[in-house]
Amino acid sequence: MAKFTIAVHGGSGTIRKENMTAELEAAYLQGMNDALQAGYSILEKGGEAPEAVLAAVISLENNILFNAGRGSVFTKTGTHEMDASIMDGRNLAAGAVAAVSNVRNPVELAYSVMKSSEHVFLCGAGAEEFARQNGIAFEPDEYFFSEFRYSQWQAIKDSDETALDHNIIPEVKEKKFGTVGAVVCDADGNLAAATSTGGMTNKQFGRIGDSPIIGIGTYANNRTCAISCTGHGEPFIRAVAAYDVSCLVEYKGLSLEEAMNKVVMEKLKKLDGEGGMIGVDTKGNAAMIFNSEGMYRGMWTSEGRREAVIYRCVIETRMTRIRQN
């Protein structure tokens, strides 16, 4: 059996250890490890890449700590609008949804678009009707309520400002780009990627970021790599971030890590694009690159490497490395 790998992320930004309690840090790490376990358990049984990324992202969407699914932030009108996408590297099949409300797991809806429709991208009320016709679970508004998210929204709801999933307390100055995602190389060398987000606190006008856009926040191609992005969506859109990594691998012959570094540390920085991405290639190599102060991230390979990491400096990072049994 060839090497297989899963990597996940739970957002990036100004994430500092001094602003994190031990309990909250442990909870974030547990959330990432739960997502890794959800995807890895499928891979070790010979499961396929799309199903593994789907399971990992569903796990993150179900965790109220992350700005996706249950933990999604509030819009200007006090509602939740969620976006998600998924892509299969074997045949470039993809599914995406944007501005959906009350859908328990938007990534599951994106998967259904990919598998059960002739379309790629559905939005709003139409996407929700498609969800009902395909048996996707809905939840009441109360399911998506978080006191922390509500307090964030209350702090700015009377202004025209938006906030990128951060603690809106001036003295803390923490900024976190709230997105979750997963990338996988399965035992057959097939790739897949998925990304999900609750968007921006107090967002208006039906704003949509990079997460649900194929080639921007999510991309997978068996010829190159699988990528899931997290960051300030507008620069990522302008940079065509995920697809640019694939192009650098395919046309320039760069390694996965070289290509990701070029996009994240050079191209995005020129556009003031803060954030990062996770990626895998067909050999099971993984990279987790970011230009912010931190990124919730983790990986698990069939060779026995497992880690969950938060901060930029490895010395200061609480990390878990567990050998495969």
Distance CA 200, CA 182 (A): 20
How many CB atoms are closer than 10 A to CB 154?
A: 14
Calpha distance 113→119 (Å, rounded):
7
CB-based contacts of 146-154 (< 8 A; 24+ apart in sequence):
146/64, 146/70, 146/71, 149/67, 149/71, 149/72, 149/73, 149/74, 149/201, 150/74, 152/73, 152/74, 152/201, 153/73, 153/74, 153/78, 153/201, 153/202
Residue 73 DSSP SS3: coil
List the structure tokens of 260.
């990701």
Closest CA to 15 of 287, 307, 276: 276
Selected catalytic residue, list 14, 179, 197, 230: 179
Structure tokens at 195: 């990304």
Question: How far, in Å, are 71, 188, 211, 254 from residue 61 at the CA level?
Answer: 7, 27, 14, 33
Alpha-carbon distance of 92 to 220, in angstroms, equals 7
Q: Do 221 and 106 meet the contact criterion of CB atoms below 8 Å apart? A: no
Clarify whether 320 is annotated catalytic: no
Q: Is the dihedral of CA 261, 266, 269, 271 positive or negative?
A: negative
Q: Which of 227, 217, 237 is nearest to 192 (CA)?
A: 227
- Which residues belong to the active site? 179
